[in-house]
Structure 1
């Protein structure tokens, strides 16, 4: 039996935040990276991105060691981000915060079932994406 451990991560200011980004759609991954930008605020270290396109590739990194935030595409084919989020939250001790990209705002009830720490609805608004990511990294968006 797995126990769920949710932690509040605050990235030390002397190192780059590390984000694991999952989507089977290259354009969605690009939109997220561009919305967040290269760093959270002026003078902050550059973000280190790790991108995966499949659930299998994500689950290979299942211990999620070293990641400060996980962003999952709730609309990914085959295995969506909400199911993956629930699995990670239930199976990974000390799971970092998880943000799920929703297909529509009405899916927020499903995101609560998935135990997501945060959500962003499509169409992806760059200001909202950057704010949600910064909040869950424990940083203040400038």
Structure 2
């Protein structure tokens, strides 16, 4: 019997490239871990649309493509962390391991480098989903 909450968790996937968004979604899967609810994906291709969607306050986890154009995912992450109240945790997908320092600057909560390892992506998203669930539990 599953102990996962019934409501799906919304995962925003930001990239200007539809193939990249599809690869990220495939790596995460419908349920990245048995103890978590299913995932509902929100695909977004532009920075203004990310800001608009985050302002709704219904996103649980955000995954950003550092190579997105014209607004890179790390800049989008930094803006969200600076401007969005209760910003969801963010997984940054970077092209080069050496870009890890940029991910730190962006205040990403987790980082995975290309080529995508589906296990690493699913594990990172699952950890961020658990963090989000924990953040929303009432204090005892």
* TM-score of the pair, normalised by structure 2: 0.85
Quick one: structure 1 residues 87 and 104, their matched pair in 2 at CA, closer, same or farther if it must change by over 3 Å? same
> Is 2:117 aligned against 1:125?
yes
- Residue 127 of structure 2: SS of its match in structure 1? helix
Say which structure, 1 or 2, has more relative contact order (CA 8 Å, 6+ apart). Answer: 1
13-22 or 123-132, larger mean C-alpha shift: 13-22
- Rounded to whole Å, the distance in 1 between the matches of 2:36 and 2:104 is 31
CA deviation vs aligned residue, 1:57-85 (integer Å, no higher than 9, x gap):
11222325111101111000110011111
12-21 or 80-89, larger mean C-alpha shift: 12-21
Gaps of 5+ in 1: 1-11
- How many residues align? The count is 128
Q: What CA RMSD, in Å, does the superposition of the two structures yield over aligned residues?
A: 1.6
* TM-score of the pair, normalised by structure 1: 0.84
Gaps of 5+ in 2: 132-140
